């Protein structure tokens, strides 16, 4: 695993992983590995564009995920909300797509509270059993790759479609051999609605007020936006799964994650499993494997 350690001098450090053979089932929380004591005292952090999610890894078991919207947060907010009392934290592993300013605030909070330098995961072509076919691997979002790692471990040798509904909606395909075939990105329903309400005049005016109840064929502008955007996202997911089946010759396992997933699940025709802490599970795999070579 390649990680970026945030320091005042902006230096980076690299850790090389070793692939583990044991995979987790969907409900499993364990990240145990052979010939080594289970990882403990690790704080795993997923910093997205809108929300930050975190959990502790203790004795190879992933704790309960916590989450919060981090808009406008200061260093002290990250220290108080995410780091907390910093009890027995020996390592902090993070993945972030929130930008350098947020990363600096979080890193400073971690150093101040724990004295531990956070490790920020950086995309590379091959890591933890997953190989991306992206022409330029750095262009693949680090959070997408970490989610793919977690999904590949859960899938246990089966192809998997990884759907994460956050600010954006991403769908990635990882085959049974761990090859990341690629993926797609569209605005999630919230961003679709925002574009309609901020880039138009008539729709914005007509969407003020009114009920959101109804079906796809809504009877108010507001309801039309609400249902239309959600159905559009769900339809893309269903189509992506069918395309994956045509490409691979069999239907992949479908895993959903992200704060926007609960609103989409009732609309999906595709059988799926909701894994809300999927990115943190991927970080847990990386934490366990990098420690072998650390």
- DSSP secondary-structure letter at 29? -
Asked if residue 113 has pLDDT above 70, the reply is: yes
pLDDT of residue 35: 39
263 and 168 within one domain: yes
The stretch 86-104 carries a mean pLDDT of 92
Q: What is the pTM of this model?
A: 0.83
Q: Considering 46, 143, 172, 175, which one is annotated as catalytic?
A: 143
Which pLDDT score is estimated for 4?
56
- Both 54 and 173 in one domain: the answer is no
Question: How many domains, in total, are found in the chain?
Answer: 2
Residue 71's Cα: distance from chain center in Å? 18
Q: What is the mean pLDDT of residues 76-89?
A: 89
Residue 147 belongs to some domain of the structure: no
Q: Is 25 exposed, middle or buried (0-12, 13-18, 19+ CB in 10 A)?
A: exposed
Q: Which domain holds residue 62?
A: 2-142+279-293
Residues 16, 91, single domain; the answer is yes
Share of the chain above pLDDT 90, in %: 73
Task: Using a pLDDT cut of 70, give the percent of the chain over it.
Answer: 84
H runs (alpha helix) in the chain:
75-78, 100-114, 142-155, 189-198, 202-207, 221-248, 261-264, 278-293
Is 132 inside a domain boundary? yes
Same domain, 50 and 85: yes
Lowest mean pLDDT among 128-142, 165-179, 213-227, 275-289: 213-227
pLDDT recorded at residue 49: 93
Residue 150 lies in a domain: no
The pLDDT score that the predictor gives to residue 110 is 96
Tell me: do 134 and 9 sit in the same domain: yes
The crossing angle, in degrees rounded to 10, of helices 221-248 and 189-198 is 140
Q: Is 46 one of the annotated active-site residues of the chain?
A: no
Q: What confidence category does residue 279 fall into, taking pLDDT thresholds of 50, 70 and 90? A: very high
The residues, ordered by sequence, that sit 6+ positions from 170 with a Cβ below 8 Å of its Cβ are 141, 144, 162, 163, 164, 183, 184, 185
Same domain, 121 and 187: no
**172 and 133, same domain (yes or no):** no
CA distance 117 to 65: 22
């Amino acid at each position: 695993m390649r990680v970026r350690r945030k320091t005042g001098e902006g230096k980076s450090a690299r850790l090389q992983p070793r692939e583990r053979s044991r995979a987790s089932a969907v409900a499993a929380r364990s990240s145990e590995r052979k010939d080594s004591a289970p990882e403990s005292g690790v704080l795993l952090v997923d910093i997205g564009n809108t929300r930050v999610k975190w959990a502790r890894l203790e004795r190879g078991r992933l704790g309960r995920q916590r989450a919060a919207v981090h808009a406008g947060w200061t260093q002290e907010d990250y220290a108080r909300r995410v780091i907390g009392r910093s009890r027995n934290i020996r390592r902090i592993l993070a993945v972030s797509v929130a930008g350098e300013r947020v990363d600096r605030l979080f890193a400073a909070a971690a150093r101040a509270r724990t004295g531990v330098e956070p490790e920020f995961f950086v995309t590379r072509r091959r890591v933890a059993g997953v190989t991306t076919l992206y022409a330029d691997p750095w262009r693949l979002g680090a959070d997408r790759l970490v989610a793919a790692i977690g999904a590949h471990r859960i899938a246990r040798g089966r192809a998997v479609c990884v759907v994460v509904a956050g600010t954006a909606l991403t769908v990635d395909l990882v085959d049974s051999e761990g090859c990341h075939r690629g993926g797609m990105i569209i605005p999630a329903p919230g961003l679709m609605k925002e574009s309609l309400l901020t880039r138009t005049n008539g729709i914005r005016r007509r969407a003020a007020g009114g009920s959101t109840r109804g079906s796809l064929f809504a009877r108010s502008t507001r309801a039309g936006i609400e249902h239309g955007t959600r159905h559009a996202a769900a339809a893309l997911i269903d189509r992506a799964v069918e395309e994956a089946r045509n490409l691979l010759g069999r239907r992949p396992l479908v895993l959903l994650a992200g704060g926007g997933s609960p609103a989409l699940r009732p609309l999906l025709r595709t059988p799926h499993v909701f894994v809300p802490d999927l990115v943190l599970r991927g970080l847990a795999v990386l934490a366990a494997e990098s420690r072998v070579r650390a």
